[in-house]
């Protein structure tokens, strides 16, 4: 692949780095649903996971490679540390994809070498070409990352990059792993690599960065001006700590300010050719899908996809927008797929109509899940006068969580009031069909429900977050509840929606408990926190 593809490649790492957000762990079906929507969005590369980390990660990457990667679809990529065992597992996981990539990395900053890897620079210079060459022997497309590049000695970085390209890496990624750098510094680093790495024309320069100082998007746009042609980002900017550079912000910045950025691609200022291959009208539904499945609520004032992004409260602004939307709006909401369309579905609508609308929204449900979603739709249609796309998204998003459900909520009933002690009765059924019922008192109805569920299901946890929001306007709106539990310093999330917020809370809590139970005892390796101590005998 040439150094400059003439546009910016979008490398989505929502399913890998994004999943490292505390409490954002996804099951296989959820990952597959997101991957399918990312393909519709038009991303160039999907980093589907870290195959060596666990059997679950391996299976998810392999399934995505089988079902999402296609001749006209995105490249399916897996992450691996610079060790043969990691790289081999990665190659096996992505093998079913027609277009596949191994993304291998090793740290290059002195602080990481001294305190994490406990290796010298010379040892790293030996490992890099050997591991890249091994990866290249297994797949044709290899990406190499210099972890913590933003804090690395540039001269050492140049050496590492040159060796990686010589060994077969066709993409070189420059990460700001800890979100430390500023736009001018990051731009200078990219410019220095272009000037000082002799074989840099044989590879595409990529950037990856975290948002610890709120500068990730600005850093990436500066890097684009200096020659970076692949951006590694996530939907809604989710990821470790303060998150990653947000895909939707980067894409729309390049879209709205195309006349400014065109010159950095050697184009005429007025050239209408898009700078990315993203189908912008898919942005909103992708954002909502990721938010629903991860339980990571999008802040109202979030750029591009926040609830307030196209709202105007000021009378002066409202007057201007009514006269001409361009007075206060730089993005047409329709460009990102945002509309007020209400689905014309009701109690008499059939499964085919519901399925067709769900597919338009990014959900591809199997027969069993569709039947369950359809039943919930019919139930909602009995209780709610108007059903919007947001309602449909809310009631169906949890369906993809069901394959891992070890327990299901059969009944929840509460009594509370000014003179009553909040009391909850819950019935739970396990995989063998055994029903159990418990009654508990609490400080409120939700607390009573939680206590009752905890008395039935042995899964020690600490409830650290309970949030509820209205999906749409109106007294009959769905309440969307997100729950987060902590168990042994790991977070597990669950969410659900119902016109009864207590029922939604009970179901969300049950979803979080099922996640906790399904992974308890499962060993997971964090790719940036596990140590590679030997290129010959990697310690796992």
CATH of the domain at 465: 3.30.160.270
**53 in the same domain as 132:** yes
Q: For the chain, give the percent of residues with pLDDT over 90.
A: 56
Instruction: Give the residues of the chain that fall short of pLDDT 70.
Output: 1-2, 23, 311-329, 339-349, 362, 384-387, 397-405, 472-474, 476, 520-540
State residue 465's pLDDT score.
85
Q: Are 469 and 483 in contact (CB under 8 A)?
A: no
The reply to whether 328 falls in a domain is no
State residue 275's pLDDT score.
98
Sorted by sequence, the CB contacts under 8 Å of residue 28 that are 6+ apart come out as 56, 59, 60, 63, 403
**126 in the same domain as 52:** yes
Distance CA 252, CA 425 (A): 49
254, 275, 294: which is the final residue of a domain? Answer: 294
**139 in the same domain as 216:** yes
State residue 525's pLDDT score.
52
State residue 534's pLDDT score.
35
What's the token pair of residue 76?
């399916």
The reply to whether 219 falls in a domain is yes
**110 in the same domain as 43:** yes
The reply to whether 308 falls in a domain is no
**132 in the same domain as 273:** yes
Q: pTM of this prediction?
A: 0.81
Residue of 12, 166, 9 whose CA lies nearest to 77: 12
Q: Are 116 and 88 in contact (CB under 8 A)?
A: no
State residue 317's pLDDT score.
43
294, 309, 326: which is the final residue of a domain? Answer: 294
- What is the domain count for the chain? 3
274, 294, 314: which is the final residue of a domain? Answer: 294
Sorted by sequence, the CB contacts under 8 Å of residue 2 that are 6+ apart come out as 204
State residue 531's pLDDT score.
38
Distance CA 177, CA 425 (A): 48
**123 in the same domain as 239:** yes
**236 in the same domain as 284:** yes
The distance between the two most distant Cα atoms of the chain, rounded to a whole number of Å, is 79
**441 in the same domain as 367:** no
The reply to whether 289 falls in a domain is yes
Cα-based distances in Å from 178 to 24, 107, 240, 303 = 19, 12, 10, 22
State residue 312's pLDDT score.
47
**382 in the same domain as 514:** no
Cα-based distances in Å from 202 to 106, 335, 524 = 20, 35, 35
Question: The CATH number of the domain where 261 resides is what?
Answer: 3.20.20.70
The reply to whether 203 falls in a domain is yes
pLDDT in tens, 263-305: 999 999 999 999 999 999 999 989 988 988 887 889 889 999 9
Q: Are 175 and 149 in contact (CB under 8 A)?
A: yes
* Structural domain containing residue 391: 351-400
Q: DSSP string spanning 374-437?
A: HHHHHHHHHH-S--BHHHHHHHHHGGGGGGG-SEEEEEEEEEEETTEEEEEEEEEEETT--EEE
Query: Three-state SS across 336-390?
Result: HCCCCCECCCCCCCCHHHHHHHHHHCCCCCCHHHHHHHHHHHHHHHHHCCCCEHH
State residue 345's pLDDT score.
66
Q: Are 113 and 81 in contact (CB under 8 A)?
A: no
pLDDT in tens, 12-70: 999 999 888 776 778 888 899 899 999 999 999 999 999 999 898 999 999 999 999 77
**190 in the same domain as 116:** yes
The reply to whether 143 falls in a domain is yes
The reply to whether 128 falls in a domain is yes
Q: Are 138 and 87 in contact (CB under 8 A)?
A: yes
Sorted by sequence, the CB contacts under 8 Å of residue 18 that are 6+ apart come out as 24, 234, 235, 238, 239, 244, 290, 294
Q: Are 203 and 172 in contact (CB under 8 A)?
A: yes
Distance CA 35, CA 65 (A): 10
**414 in the same domain as 439:** yes
**162 in the same domain as 287:** yes
Distance CA 187, CA 72 (A): 33
Neighbours of 467 (CB within 10 A): 13
Distance CA 61, CA 47 (A): 9
The reply to whether 510 falls in a domain is yes
């Amino acid at each position: 692949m040439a150094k400059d593809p003439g546009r910016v490649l979008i490398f989505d790492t929502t399913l890998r780095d994004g999943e490292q957000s505390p409490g954002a762990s996804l099951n296989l079906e959820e990952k597959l649903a997101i991957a399918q929507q990312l393909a519709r969005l038009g991303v160039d590369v999907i980093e589907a996971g870290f195959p060596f980390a666990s059997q679950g990660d391996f299976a998810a990457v392999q399934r995505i490679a089988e079902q999402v990667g296609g001749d006209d679809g995105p490249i399916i990529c897996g992450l691996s540390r610079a060790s043969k065992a990691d790289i081999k597992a990665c190659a096996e996981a992505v093998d079913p994809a027609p277009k596949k990539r191994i993304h291998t990395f090793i740290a290059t900053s002195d602080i990481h070498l001294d305190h994490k890897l406990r290796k010298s620079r010379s040892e790293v210079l030996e490992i890099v070409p050997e591991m890249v060459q091994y990866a290249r022997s297994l797949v044709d497309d290899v990406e190499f990352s210099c972890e913590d590049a933003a804090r690395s000695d540039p001269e050492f970085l140049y050496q590492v990059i040159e060796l990686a390209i010589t060994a077969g890496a066709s993409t070189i990624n420059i990460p700001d792993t800890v979100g430390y750098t500023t736009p001018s510094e990051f731009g200078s680093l990219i410019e220095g690599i272009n000037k000082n790495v002799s074989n840099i024309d044989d590879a595409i320069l990529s950037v990856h960065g975290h948002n610890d100082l709120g500068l990730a998007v600005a850093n990436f746009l500066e890097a684009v001006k200096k020659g970076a042609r692949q951006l590694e980002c996530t939907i809604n900017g989710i990821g470790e700590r303060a998150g990653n550079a947000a895909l939707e912000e980067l894409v729309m910045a390049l879209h709205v300010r195309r006349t400014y950025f065109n010159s950095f691609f050697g184009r005429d200022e007025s050239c209408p050719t898009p700078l990315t291959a993203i189908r912008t009208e898919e942005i909103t539904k992708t954002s909502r899908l990721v938010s629903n499945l991860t339980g990571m609520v999008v802040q109202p004032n979030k750029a591009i996809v926040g609830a307030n992004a196209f709202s105007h409260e000021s009378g002066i602004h409202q007057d201007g927008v009514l006269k001409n939307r361009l007075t206060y709006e730089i993005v047409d909401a329709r460009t990102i797929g945002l509309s007020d369309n209400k689905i014309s579905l009701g109690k008499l609508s059939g499964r085919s109509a519901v399925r067709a609308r769900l597919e338009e929204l990014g959900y591809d449900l199997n027969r069993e899940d569709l039947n369950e979603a359809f039943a919930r739709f019919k139930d909602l249609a009995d209780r709610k006068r108007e059903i919007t796309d947001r309602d449909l998204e809310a009631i169906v998003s949890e369906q993809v969580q069901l394959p891992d459900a070890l327990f299901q909520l059969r009944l929840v009933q509460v009594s509370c009031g000014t003179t009553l002690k909040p009391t909850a009765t819950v019935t739970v059924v396990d995989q063998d069909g055994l029903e159990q019922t418990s009654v508990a008192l609490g400080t409120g109805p939700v607390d009573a429900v939680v206590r009752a569920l905890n008395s039935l299901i042995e899964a020690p946890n600490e409830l650290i977050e309970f949030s509820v929001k209205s999906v749409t306007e109106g007294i009959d709106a769905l309440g969307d509840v997100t729950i987060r539990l902590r168990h042994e310093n790991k977070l597990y999330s669950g969410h659900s929606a119902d016109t009864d917020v207590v029922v939604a809370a009970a179901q969300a809590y049950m979803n979080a408990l099922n996640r906790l139970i399904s992974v308890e005892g499962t060993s997971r390796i964090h790719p940036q926190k596990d140590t590679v101590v030997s290129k010959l005998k990697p310690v796992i």
